[in-house]
Amino acid sequence: MSKKTFPNKEGQRIPNVILHTRRDHDWMDLTSEDIFAGKTVIVFSLPGAFTPTCSSSHVPRFNQLAPVFKEHGVDEIICMSVNDAFVMNEWAANQKAENITFLPDGNGDFTDGMGLLVDKEDLGFGKRSWRYSMLVKDGVIEKQFIEPNVPGDPYGVSDADTMLDYIAPDAKRPLDVSIFTRPGCEYCAQAKDLLQQRGIAYEELVLNRDYTSRTLRAVAGIDSVPQVFINGDYVGGAESLAEWFANEDSSNT
């Protein structure tokens, strides 16, 4: 039996449906017109809220790159899934992805209209969305990235970086920064100030909340804080971070 071919709808209008959302304890129905008219919107759709790839990769990277997308004309980024409004709202709160709008396609009407409603009954999911992303301008689909129809949950073309490569291939990506700290640490505050002064977002890992001294010794070979990592490379403490920025500034002049 041949595999189902998912339709590419570039150049077509998005499905005309009503999505039942919930805001501030009240139901709010949004039409396709409400969501897309007069705007440039990125939509990425996925099999389910709280699922591993969606929570660890798909949502976080779109949220991280949202300011870059905005610089290049994107008005809104929407995460959609065939889940109800309560589930999507709880997932949004859990993800802390303030740059993304989470919309429930509870009945699967939008996803079905896209030709991407698939059977996930073998996992106990029922009907869900295939993973894809698209760029929509004033209700018309300009570009669509659909994951290949292979077993499992492929994740290779619907990601945020692939979309950014299409919209602005020369755009500068934000730095991936993590900093290990502890409460009341003066040098930790200095390191965070250095990052904030340059408008660099960072992930803060706090001692005995997010990690232990044993963890820090395992990854940095030292148990003093702060310890900063940038794009996977070990930088060091506050003084080392200042030197890192000085070297970056000199190399860019």
CA atoms 101, 106, 109, 114: torsion sign = positive
Tell me: pLDDT of 2 over 70: no
Q: Do the beta carbons of residue 27 and residue 9 sit within 8 Å?
A: no
Count of H-run helices and E-run strands, the chain: 9, 13
- Please give the biggest Cα pair distance in the chain: 65
Report the candidate in 141, 105, 138 with the shortest Cα–Cα distance to residue 17.
Answer: 105
pLDDT tens, 103-153?
999 999 999 999 999 988 878 888 999 999 999 999 999 999 999 999 888
177-251 and 18-167 share a CATH fold: yes
Report the candidate in 32, 28, 35, 40 with the shortest Cα–Cα distance to residue 16.
Answer: 32
The yes-or-no answer on residue 54 being catalytic is yes
Domain boundaries of the chain, sorted by first residue: 18-167, 177-251
Tell me: pLDDT of 252 over 90: no
Q: Please list the residues that pair with 228 across neighbouring strands.
A: 179, 236
Q: What is the pTM of this model?
A: 0.87
Q: What is the pLDDT of residue 3?
A: 59
In one letter, which amino acid is 70?
K
For residue 113, the SS3 value is helix
18-167 fold: Glutaredoxin (3.40.30)
Q: Which CATH architecture has domain 177-251?
A: 3-Layer(aba) Sandwich (3.40)
pLDDT tens, 179-237?
999 999 999 999 999 999 999 999 999 999 999 999 999 999 999 999 999 999 999 99
pLDDT tens, 26-80?
999 999 999 999 999 999 999 999 999 999 999 999 999 999 999 999 999 999 9
